[in-house]
């Protein structure tokens, strides 16, 4: 029996009269990989912003691990174990890959206000940081400034940084967007490996990734949930085919 880790009810976000997210009731079960898909502008990123408190909802509530987190601040939500990545790659550009991961490790393990200590005390996190970099295939780029990494590697670094916090739940916003085939395969393999003991909610446009990875899919259009279910169910849904793929209708089943 699986239980619910994240649950929203009536989640709504209006931007000056424009409703970007409209009465969304989302339920994510513990230990699953759950996809949030939908056409551009459907409100997926806005949903993530609401769930991680980067935006205050206009209406509705959010519960994480049974706690109402609707009124919390983003940093507190992250500390509860709900950590997000961003659609646009978010690395600390002038820090090396290793330092990027250490910044996350440092947050989890304390001492971040120590302004009188030498930076070298952070070396105690190096071993763990290297492990995490190896895990995403960035072992040899440890000393490269993150800003100089290729796009796919930046995304991989982001995932390593997020994993450093050992979050119970990850929200990944298009983790494979703009990646080469090889990079996509690496990320998919990585997500498979790190799902142990975690719940993942991901926005993903690449349907073959969704098909291969996700246990459950929620389709969002114009801020509303259109359909929900496993890949087979959702990909056969006429409305989904019409709304999500438009002129390409029918191709869902063949991706």
Partner 1 sequence: MSLGFSRAQATAMVVMVAFIIVGPAVLYPVFLMKVLCLALFACAFNLLPGYVGLLSFGHAAYFGMGSYIAAWTAKYWGLDAEAAIILGGLCGGALGLVFGWLAIRRQGIYFAMITLALAEMVYFFCLEAPFTGGEDGIQQVPRSPLFGIISTQQDMSLYWIIAAIFLGGFLLIHRIIHSPFGQVLQAIRENEPRAISLGYRVDDYKLLAFVLSAALAGVAGAAKSQVFGIATLTDVHSQMSGEVVLMTLIGGIGTVFGPVVGALLFGSLETYLAPFGDWVTVTQGAIFVACVLAFRRGLIGEIGARLKLGL
Ligand X SMILES: Nc1ncnc2c1ncn2[C@@H]1O[C@H](COP(=O)(O)OP(=O)(O)OP(=O)(O)O)[C@@H](O)[C@H]1O
Residues at the contact surface with partner 1, assessed by CB under 8 A: 52, 54, 73-75, 78-79, 83-86, 90-95, 99, 102-104, 106-108, 111-122, 161-162, 165
Q: HSE (CB half, 13 Å, CA atoms) of 12?
A: 11
Closer by beta carbon to partner 1, 8 or else 162: 162
- Closest Cα to residue 160, out of 110, 103, 120? 103
Closer by beta carbon to ligand X, 45 or else 96: 45
Closer by beta carbon to ligand X, 54 or else 92: 54
Contacts of residue 174, Cβ cutoff 8 Å, sequence gap at least 6: 87, 202, 203, 204, 205
Contacts of residue 131, Cβ cutoff 8 Å, sequence gap at least 6: none
Q: Which stretch binds Mg ion (CB under 5 A): 9-17, 45-53, 147-155, 176-184?
A: 45-53
Residue 40 binds which entry of Mg ion, partner 1, ligand X, none, CB below 5-8 Å type-dependent = ligand X
Residue 247 binds which entry of Mg ion, ligand X, partner 1, none, CB below 5-8 Å type-dependent = none
- Closest Cα to residue 77, out of 66, 85, 69? 69
Residue 144 binds which entry of ligand X, partner 1, Mg ion, none, CB below 5-8 Å type-dependent = none
Q: Is residue 110 packed enough to be buried (19+ CB in 10 Å), middle (13-18) or exposed (0-12)?
A: exposed
Smallest separation, CB 178 to Mg ion (Å): 13
Our finding on whether 41 is near ligand X (CB under 6 A) is yes
Q: What are phi and psi of 96, to 5 degrees?
A: -70, 165
Binding interface with ligand X (CB under 6 A): 15, 20, 38, 40-46, 87
């Amino acid at each position: 029996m699986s239980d619910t880790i994240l649950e929203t009810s009536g989640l709504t976000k209006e931007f000056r009269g424009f409703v970007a997210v409209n009465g969304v009731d989302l339920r994510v079960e513990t230990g699953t990989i759950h996809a949030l898909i939908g056409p551009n502008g459907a409100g997926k990123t806005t949903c993530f912003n609401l769930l991680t408190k980067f935006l205050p909802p206009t209406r509705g509530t959010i519960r994480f691990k049974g706690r109402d987190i609707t009124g919390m601040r983003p940093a507190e939500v992250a500390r509860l174990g709900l950590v997000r990545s961003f659609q646009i790659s978010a690395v600390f550009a002038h820090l090396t890959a290793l330092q990027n991961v250490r910044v996350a490790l440092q947050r989890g393990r304390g001492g971040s206000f120590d302004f009188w200590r030498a930076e070298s005390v952070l070396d105690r996190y190096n071993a763990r940081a290297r492990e995490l970099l190896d895990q995403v295939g960035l072992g040899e780029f440890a000393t490269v400034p993150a800003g100089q990494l290729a796009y796919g590697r930046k995304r991989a670094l982001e995932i390593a940084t997020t994993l450093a916090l050992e979050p119970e739940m990850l929200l990944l916003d298009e983790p494979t967007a703009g990646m080469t085939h090889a990079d996509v395969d690496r990320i998919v393999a990585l997500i498979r490996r790190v799902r142990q003991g975690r719940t993942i909610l991901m926005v993903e446009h690449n349907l073959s990734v969704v098909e291969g990875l996700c246990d459950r899919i929620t389709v969002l259009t114009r801020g509303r949930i259109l359909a929900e279910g496993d890949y087979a169910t959702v990909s056969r849904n006429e409305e989904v085919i019409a709304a999500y793929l438009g002129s390409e209708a029918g191709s869902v089943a063949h991706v």
